Chain A
Amino acid sequence: MALLEVSNLAAGYGKVEVITDISFSVEPGKSVGIVGPNGVGKSTLLQAIAGGVSASAGSVRLAGLDILGKKPEDIVRLGLSLVPEGRQIFSGLSVKENLALGLTGRKDKKGAGAAIEKMRELFPVLSTHENHQAGMLSGGQQQQLAIARALISEPKVLLLDEPSLGLAPTVIDDVFGLLRQIIDMGTAVVIVEQRANLITTFADETIVVRDGHIQSRLTPANAANADSLERSYFGAGE
C-alpha cells in the first residue's frame, strides 16, 4: 500500500496556478524523483504536499489519511517531513539546537533520546560539531543537518528539495549514500532534483515535470537510454 498518494493535485500562488493535475504515489522503502527545468513548479509541488502552499484541487493522502488543507505543523506530526530548498537550517543556532527543533514535530516525545542517538550514528559528523553554530558547517554538513533535523521526527515520508544544490560531487555521493540508507530503513522518499542523470538512476521512479504538469514517467531502466531522458526533459521530438 502506498504511504503517500498524490492525486490530480493543483496548487499555486493567489490566482496563478503553478502545478496542475499531478498524480503519483510512493510505497514504504521506495523513492520517487521529480525533475524538470527551473520554474516548472517542482518546489511548489513539495510545498503543497507539506502544507506550505495552498492547493486548489486534488488530494494528498498520507497512510490513507487526507492531509490536504492541514497546517504544516500538523502534517509533520502525522509523519511527513520536508527538507526545503536551500536547506534552511537556522544558521544562528547550534547544531544541537537545530536538531532539538526537529523534535518539535515528534508525536512520541518519549522516544526523543533514542532518535537523537540514532541521528548521531547516522550522521557522525554532526556529533563532532553539535555545539558549533550551524552556519559554520560546510555545505555538505549543512545538508546532512537539514536531513537529520527532518528525520528526527521519524517521518514515514521524507520530501527533499534539491539536496545536491551547491555541493561538490563527492559530497553529493555522501548525501545520496545516506538517503539510500534512509530508504532501506523503510522511509518513503520524494526527491526534487536538477541533476536528472543522478536522480533517474537513484529513484525507483522519476517524474518529469514540464509547465506544471507531468510530462513523462521514467524507471532506471528506460532512463538509461539518454535519448529517452532528453526527450522527456526537453520535450524534444514533440
Chain B
Amino acid sequence: MVQSILDAISLGGLYALAALGLGLVFGVMRLVNFAHGELITIAAYTLVLTAQLPLILSIVLTLLVTSAIAFMMELAIYRRLRGVNPAIMLIASFGLSTVLQRVYEFIFGALPKSAVVAPFLRGAFTVGGVSITISSVITVILAIAILLGMGFLVERTSLGLQLRAAAADFKTARLLGVRSNRLIGAAFVLSGVLATCVAFILVVQNPQVNPYYGLNITILALVGIVIGGISSLRGAALGGFIVGVILSALNTLLGNGRVYAYSWLFLLVLIILLVRPGGLLSKGTELERV
C-alpha cells in the first residue's frame, strides 16, 4: 500500500514536470509543442551515452544539450512562424517531432540504447516489513524539489511574473515592456531543463532509450494540461499530477486488467472535461469583478 501511494505520487510528480514544460511554452506562444517529447528523448539519450562520466557531469551535459536544442527549436523554427495561424504552428510542431524522431533513429539506431544511470538509486529497502524502492522515494523527493524550485521561479521572480503575465495576455505584456524574444527563449530553455529532469527520473526507472522514448509521457502530459486548465501554469502542473496519480492508481487497482488503464483514464478525463470544460483551474474559476 505504501509503495502504491509512493508510486502514485512519483508518477504524478513526473507528469506534473512534463506538463509544466509544455505549459511554459504554451503560456507564452499558445503553441502545443509536440516536440517536447523529443527533448525528453534527447535528454534520455545524453544521460545514457554519458553514463560512464561522473553523474553530476552527465547531468550538466544533458542540461546543456537539451536546453540548447530547445532554444534552437524556437530560434530556427517557431520564431519564423510566429504570428501565423495557430493550426500551422501545431502542424509545424508535429512535423518537428516526427523529423526529430527520424533523426534520432538515424543517429542512434532503431534499437534501444541502454546504460545504468545512477545505480545507487536501484534496489529497495524495508520499513516495518514493507519493501519500498529507492527510486520511487528519490523520484518523489526530486519531483517535489523541482516543483518547489519552479514554483519559486514562477511565483517569486521577475521572470516568473513575466511568464505568468504572458500566459494570461502576451499582447498586453509586450505593451508593458516584456521582451518577447527573450521571454519565449527563456520559456524554451526552461522547458529543456524540465525535460532533462523528466528524462533523468524516467531513465533511472527504465534505461531502454529508443527514438520514441518521450512520446507517451508527452501525450499524457498534454492530457494533464487540458484537465488542469490550458492557460495556467499551476493548472498544467496540477493536471499532470492528477493524470499521473490516476494512471498509477488504475494500474494498481485493475490488476490483470491494467491493459485497459488508458481507456479508464480517458473516460475519467472526459467526465472531468464535461464538468469543467475549461479545466480545473480555468479562468472561469477565478474570482473576477468588473
Contacts and interface: CB of A to CB of B under 8 A. Distances in A.
A88 B174 contact: no
B161 A135 contact: no
B85 to A, nearest CB: 12
Given A90-B169, A136-B289, A101 B176 contact: yes
B180 interface: yes
Given A73-B174, A101-B178, A136 B288 contact: yes
A13 to B, nearest CB: 12
Interface in B254-290: 283, 286-290
Interface in B23-77: none
B19 to A, nearest CB: 19
B176 A76 contact: yes
Contacts of B283: 92
Contacts of B179: 73
A91 interface: yes
A82 interface: yes
A137 B168 CA distance: 18
A166 interface: yes
B172 interface: yes
Contact of B289 (A50, A135, A150): A135
B2 interface: no
A73 B180 contact: yes
B178 A73 contact: yes
A97 B232 CA distance: 16
B216 interface: no
B126 interface: no
Nearest to A106: B177
Interface string B161-179: 1101100110111111111
A133 B287 contact: yes
A101 B183 CA distance: 13
Interface in A146-184: 149-150, 153, 166
A76 B289 contact: no
Interface in A76-120: 76-77, 81-82, 84, 88, 90-93, 97, 100-102, 104-106
A138 interface: yes
B177 A153 contact: yes
SS class, residues of chain B in contact with chain A: helix
Contacts of A28: none
A220 interface: no
B286 A101 contact: no
A34 B143 CA distance: 54
A220 B190 CA distance: 55
Given A92-B168, A138-B289, A77 B161 contact: no
Contacts of B176: 76, 81, 101-102, 104-105, 149-150, 153
Nearest to B281: A92
A76 B175 CA distance: 7
B286 A91 contact: yes
A36 interface: no
A91 B174 CA distance: 17
B175 A100 contact: no
A72 interface: yes
Given A90-B169, A91-B286, A142-B290, A72 B161 contact: no
Nearest to B231: A92
Interface of B: 158, 161-162, 164-165, 168-169, 171-180, 232, 283, 286-290
Given A76-B175, A105-B176, 20 more contacts: A52-B174, A71-B174, A71-B180, A73-B180, A90-B164, A90-B165, A90-B172, A91-B286, A92-B164, A92-B168, A93-B161, A100-B158, A101-B161, A101-B173, A133-B287, A135-B288, A135-B290, A136-B289, A138-B289, A153-B177
29 contacts: A50-B175, A71-B180, A72-B175, A73-B174, A73-B179, A73-B180, A81-B175, A81-B176, A90-B164, A90-B168, A90-B172, A91-B286, A92-B232, A92-B283, A92-B286, A101-B162, A101-B165, A104-B162, A104-B176, A104-B177, A104-B178, A105-B176, A105-B177, A133-B287, A135-B288, A136-B287, A136-B288, A139-B290, A166-B290
Interface of A: 50, 52, 71-73, 76-77, 81-82, 84, 88, 90-93, 97, 100-102, 104-106, 133, 135-139, 142, 149-150, 153, 166
Q: Which 4 A-B pairs have the closest CB atoms?
A: A105-B177, A135-B288, A104-B177, A88-B172
